[in-house]
Amino acid sequence: MSERTIQTERPWSLKNFFFQWEWFLVGLFVIINIINSFLSPYYFTADTFLSTPMNFLDKAFLVYPMMMIIVLGNIDVSVGSIIALSSVIMAVSYNAGLAMPAAMVLCLLVSTLCGFINGFLQAKFKELSSTIVTISTQIIYRGIAYIILEDKASGKFPSWFSFLGWGYVGEIPFIMIVFIIFTVLFAILIHRTRFGRQLFAMGNNSTACRYSGIKTENMLILVSTIMGFMAGITALFLTSRMGSTRPNVASGYELDVIAMVVLGGVSTSGGKGRISGPLLAIFIIGFLNYGLGLFNISAQVLLIIVGILLIVSVMLQNLRLGKQGQKSGAKPR
């Protein structure tokens, strides 16, 4: 954690306006869509843009809370396991006779508790990095899912449950409406509340924040708990889309989500980022996947591409932030 001054408001100028990471993302998004439209003559229809996101929006719920965690300068690699555990518990408890709405609430409770435990451990054992804490809880949560369900699948949900992942309200997919609501909520939370400002302040200098009266431990726990809750939301939609669940669902989700956040211009050293970046990144990676599907490219190549995307976008970020730092005379890290 280095001591940096917190930028409050950058002076508006035409140059600053156009030299924003978001424009690069918008460009990337347009290019991907142009390529996709060459691949499929039926690409540019309203249906494409409404139904394609249904394939990747379940992951998108994780992006904003992950952004909050990365803004704090932390990381969470346990989200995939939280999804698996809460989804498995929901399925098993429903099949054991619990009513479906109650099972869904249980799913959210379990995931929120998992997130709380992550935050609690980090707050109580500050010597430990978030990396090692979430690596161990990652193994534990998925391990519990395996203990509960072994290598079986569980499902047979009531038919209305599939509405979550597959249903439409009028022309618009239900999942997209929920996503828009969460986007607005998180945009307000991150950029328009005191909580949001404290988040960025903590990412810049946690010690100074503690001395100036911010309850940093509570912040850590709160952010991780929100992450857990959103993992539960993802578990609901993902399970609904798949119709059944196994202990190995959502493995590797953390990487995709971290890639989206970082591609969205959020600095991995903490304290920097805007919600518009990750929002664009969700759709860039989502439509990229869709396009690669049109190409008939295998899932393995996709692994490679997401890996490269993650590394390259962090490298570009570092270059960009390094330059900015030099310009404003700040000491480069």
Partner 1 sequence: MKNTRASRLSEYSRELGLLAFIVVLALLFQMRNPKFLTLSNLKDLFTNTAILGVLSVGMMMVLLTGGIDLSIGATIAFSGMVTALTVSANPAISPLLSLLQGMAVGLVIGVIIGVLIAYCKILPIIASLGMMNIVRGLTYLVSKGKWVSAYQMSDSFKAISTGTTLGINNLVVIAIVIYLIFSYFLNNTRTGRYVYAVGSSPETADIVGIPRRRILLLVYATMGALAGLAGVLWVSRYASAQGDTAQGYEMSVIAAVVLGGVSVSGGRGKVSGIILGTILFGMLNNALPLINVSPFWQQAIQGVVILLAVISNVLIKRNNDRMTLRKRAI
Contact residues for partner 1, defined by CB under 8 A: 75, 77, 121, 125, 127-129, 131-133, 135-144, 146-147, 150-151, 252, 255, 258-259, 262, 268-269, 298, 300-304, 306-308, 310-311, 314-315, 318, 333
How many angstroms separate the CA atoms of 309 and 22, rounded?
16
Q: Which one, 78 or 276, has the nearer CB to partner 1?
A: 78
Q: Tell the smallest beta-carbon distance from residue 201 to partner 1 (Å).
A: 21
Q: Which one, 55 or 318, has the nearer CB to partner 1?
A: 318
How many angstroms separate the CA atoms of 73 and 206, rounded?
9
How many angstroms separate the CA atoms of 240 and 232, rounded?
12
Q: Which one, 140 or 177, has the nearer CB to partner 1?
A: 140
Structure tokens at 128: 């430990």
Residues 6+ apart with CB under 8 A from 183: 64, 275, 279
Q: Tell the smallest beta-carbon distance from residue 65 to partner 1 (Å).
A: 18
How many angstroms separate the CA atoms of 98 and 107, rounded?
12
Q: Tell the smallest beta-carbon distance from residue 198 to partner 1 (Å).
A: 23
Q: What is the CA radius of gyration of the chain?
A: 20
Sign of CA dihedral 88, 93, 95, 101: negative
DSSP 105-173: HHHHHHHHHHHHHHHHHHHH-TTS-HHHHHHHHHHHHHHHHHHHHTT--B----GGGGHHHH-EETTEE
Q: Which one, 147 or 184, has the nearer CB to partner 1?
A: 147
Q: Which one, 118 or 183, has the nearer CB to partner 1?
A: 118
CA-closest candidate to residue 314, choices 1, 65, 70? 70
Q: Which one, 175 or 259, has the nearer CB to partner 1?
A: 259
Q: CA dist 255 to 117, 201, 283, Å?
A: 21, 26, 16
Q: Which one, 172 or 308, has the nearer CB to partner 1?
A: 308
Q: Tell the smallest beta-carbon distance from residue 141 to partner 1 (Å).
A: 8
Q: Tell the smallest beta-carbon distance from residue 325 to partner 1 (Å).
A: 12
Q: Which one, 77 or 226, has the nearer CB to partner 1?
A: 77
Q: Tell the smallest beta-carbon distance from residue 136 to partner 1 (Å).
A: 4
Q: Tell the smallest beta-carbon distance from residue 197 to partner 1 (Å).
A: 24
Structure tokens at 122: 């980090």
